[in-house]
C-alpha cells in the first residue's frame, strides 16, 4: 500500500473528502498536524507522495508558522524527485513560492462560493484532470468550492497553468510531471465550510449553495483524487 504524507495546518482544514477518497483507493495517510507541534519528517524517504492542505495563514508566514519552511523543502523534494504531490489552496500557494513563484491578494477581492473551473488546452492530456477538461469541453462544467484571500500571482518557471477561474486567477497548476496545485477546495463539503462561515458575514449564501451541490462536487472531484493515488504506485515502481 502507498503511504501519503499529509501536512495539515489547522483543525478546521482537514483532509476531508480527499482523505476519504485516498483511503478508499488504497492509500495510507500519515497526517501531521503541524499546528499541534507534530513534527514533519526530514525527507520523503518513508512516503510515496505528499499532500499539503489549506489554512488561513499566508504562504510566506514562516516566522509565525515555522513548519512552513520544512513543508516547502518537502515540496521541492517531491517535485524535483518526481514523487506525486498535491497542494490544496494554501498548499498550492506554498508550492508556488517554494519553487520560485509569487503569491498575492486576489486582485478582485476574496473569492467565496462555487465557481466553474476554466480548463485550458494543456489540461486535455493531464494525468489527473483530462477527464474533467473533456467534460467541460462537452458542455458539462466543473464546479469547485473557492474560499481564499490569496492566489498565485506568478507561477514558477517550468510549471503549466491548467485552469483559471472566472476572474482570470490561476486555479490549477502542474508543477512537474506528477505534481499539482489547486487553488480550489476539492476536500470540503458543507460541514467543513460551516466552520469557516462562522466568522464571515458574507458566507451564508455560499454555504447554502455548497450544501445543495455536495453530491455533484463529490462526483466531480473523486476521480482526479483517485488518479493521484494511482500515481503513487507509478512513482514507487520507478524509484
The model's confidence at residue 107, banded by pLDDT at 50, 70 and 90, is: confident
Q: Where is 174: in which H helix or E strand? A: strand 170-176
Q: What is the rounded CA–CA span in Å between residue 181 and residue 90?
A: 9
pLDDT at 238 over 60: no
CA atoms within 13 A on the CB side of 165: 25
Sorted by where each starts, the structural domains of the chain and their CATH numbers stand as 3-238 (3.40.50.880)
Which pLDDT belongs to residue 199? 76
pLDDT at 236 over 80: no
Q: For 23-75, what is each residue's pLDDT tens digit?
A: 999 999 999 999 999 999 999 999 999 999 999 999 999 999 999 999 999 99
All three cell numbers of 196: 469557516
Mean pLDDT of the chain: 95
Catalytic member of 89, 135, 154, 216:
89
By three-state DSSP, how is residue 50 classified?
strand
Q: What is the rounded CA–CA span in Å between residue 106 and residue 170?
A: 10
Which pLDDT belongs to residue 110? 82
Whether the pTM exceeds 0.85: the reply is yes
Q: For 149-182, what is each residue's pLDDT tens digit?
A: 999 999 999 999 999 998 899 999 999 999 999 9
Which pLDDT belongs to residue 104? 96
The model's confidence at residue 1, banded by pLDDT at 50, 70 and 90, is: confident
The model's confidence at residue 231, banded by pLDDT at 50, 70 and 90, is: very high
Which pLDDT belongs to residue 137? 97
Note if 89 is an active site residue.
yes
Residues 164 and 153: beta-carbon distance below 8 Å: no
Note if 56 is an active site residue.
no
Which pLDDT belongs to residue 191? 94
Catalytic member of 9, 47, 65, 187:
187
Nearest by Cα to 159 from 111, 106, 102: 102
For the chain, give the number of residues: 239
All three cell numbers of 188: 470540503
Note if 187 is an active site residue.
yes
Amino acid at each position: 500500500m502507498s503511504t501519503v504524507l499529509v501536512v495539515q495546518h489547522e483543525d478546521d482544514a482537514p483532509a476531508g473528502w480527499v482523505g476519504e477518497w485516498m483511503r478508499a483507493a488504497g492509500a495510507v495517510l500519515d497526517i501531521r498536524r503541524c499546528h499541534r507541534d507534530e513534527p514533519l519528517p526530514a525527507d520523503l524517504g518513508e512516503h510515496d507522495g505528499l499532500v499539503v492542505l489549506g489554512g488561513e495563514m499566508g504562504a510566506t508566514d514562516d516566522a509565525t508558522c515555522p513548519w512552513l519552511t520544512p513543508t516547502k523543502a518537502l515540496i521541492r523534494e517531491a517535485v524535483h524527485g518526481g514523487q506525486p504531490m498535491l497542494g490544496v489552496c494554501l498548499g498550492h500557494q506554498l508550492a508556488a513560492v517554494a519553487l520560485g513563484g509569487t503569491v498575492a491578494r486576489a486582485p478582485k477581492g476574496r473569492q467565496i462560493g462555487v465557481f466553474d473551473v476554466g480548463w485550458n488546452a494543456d489540461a486535455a492530456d493531464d494525468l489527473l484532470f483530462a477527464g474533467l477538461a473533456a467534460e467541460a469541453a462537452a458542455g458539462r462544467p466543473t464546479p469547485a468550492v473557492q474560499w481564499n484571500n490569496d492566489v498565485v500571482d506568478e507561477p514558477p518557471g517550468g510549471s503549466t497553468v491548467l485552469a483559471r477561474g472566472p476572474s482570470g486567477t490561476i486555479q490549477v497548476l502542474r508543477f512537474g510531471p506528477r505534481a499539482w496545485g489547486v487553488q480550489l477546495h476539492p476536500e470540503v463539503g458543507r460541514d467543513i465550510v460551516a466552520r469557516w462561515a462562522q466568522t464571515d458575514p458574507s458566507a451564508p449564501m455560499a454555504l447554502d449553495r455548497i450544501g445543495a451541490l455536495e453530491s455533484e462536487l463529490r462526483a466531480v472531484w473523486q476521480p482526479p483524487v483517485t488518479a493521484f493515488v494511482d500515481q503513487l504506485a507509478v512513482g514507487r515502481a520507478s524509484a
